Structure 1
Amino acid sequence: MVKPTIGRRTMREFYRLLETGSVQTIYQPVMPFSGRCAVGYEALSRGPVPYLASPMTLFEIAEQVQVSPQLDAICCRRAIENFPMKSREDALLFINLLPETLEMGGVDANMLSAWTESSGIAPGRVVLEVTEKQIADPARFYTAVANLRVQGFRFAVDDVGTGYSNLSLLADLVPEFFKLDLEFVRLTRARPVRQLLVETLVRFAGQIGAMVVAEGIETDEDAEVFRLLGVPLGQGFLYRPA
């Protein structure tokens, strides 16, 4: 597939973002289906101007100019610094990280520990979301994971139900959270076989001490379906961002 040409204005703004770290963060709540208080918030990064507002656009540009780990580190740091629930000691902060960033040391245990300490957030409150996409060097990736776990950081496997997060990542990473992909979630209400799969994942998660999060929850009906399937947590447009 031919990648679209990036305009000069867009590139100027992108490089200015890298220089200034001017990333904005929206925090989407992760809600218990059986309660009203969020257990945590996922940090969603946005650019400072409309044509860089989409995180997909930001990271597509970063990939083309080979600065993905640099952008990832900026987004991660801003997510920690701007977290509005710092004083709520039971509130988790979910942050997406590319495997490439961990493999190349764009973000490491020392950096994250320094950022969380300066923001007054215990490492155990930070959940790093990863997928199997672009794991080029498993040895380096899992070494970085081990170093982060020593510091107390936790992990989530994102996009479960897509090709980016297969069973080997669930087994090898042993995450604290499984996050069901929103497209998988949208089809589950109408497909009983998918519901059986969700119930199986919930049981497996319980056996390794993990919790399942259903992404893409848009209606009360969505929430009820996954509550009945035993999924404890949901995330999506049904819940207002912080």
Structure 2
Amino acid sequence: MKVVSSATDLTKVYGRGETRVVALDGVSIAFGRGEFTAIMGPSGSGKSTLMHCMAGLDSITSGSARIGDVELAGLDDRRLTRLRRDRVGFVFQAFNLMPTLNAAENVTLPLDLGGRRPDREWLDRVISTVGLSDRLHHRPAELSGGQQQRLAVARALASRPEIIFADEPTGNLDSRSGAEVLGLLREAVRELDSTVVMVTHDPAAAAHADRVVHLADGRVVDDVRGA
């Protein structure tokens, strides 16, 4: 299995002296192509910090974080921004959609910002997969919460990223909408060969994954793959 993202002895420390907090304590992990991984653990265990460090959204204190064979710590802000835009997709709990843009414009926004023309065939496939073909001219406020999150997933998939990081993507959704979004992420892995890493506190959400990684006190304490 091709490794898409990896960390080696990854450590993240916030603060100094009496306020010093070790959020990640020597984590080593790898995520392969076409794999859906759920990251679980109690509040403060380092789940979101691990995702943010491996996605290049937060700096690391020591160790290594890579996308493919690119070491994130060695990139300046410009190259890091380009790597995140071109090779990484993000789905957040709060959707993070642009309210003044319609659904179609939200989906292609990362491509537009990067000056890249969308692959129309791929884009049509993604939009069909998320089930929003008849909502492309609607703005986010005209969509339900579940539709907004499906739109956020489509935006993450539009640039054909090597990996999608999803931080509590169903946290603001009712159970039905949450199940739709999880099914969509599952389908992205199965049908589009995407790699998805999802932070969640919900065992029912984690059940959609191929692999469940448990963190506690900034360390990996369990790593279970499905049959």
TM-score (norm 2): 0.38
**Structure whose residues are more often helix by fraction:** 1
Structure possessing the higher relative contact order (Cα contacts under 8 Å, 6 or more residues apart):
2
Give 1 or 2: higher strand fraction.
Answer: 2
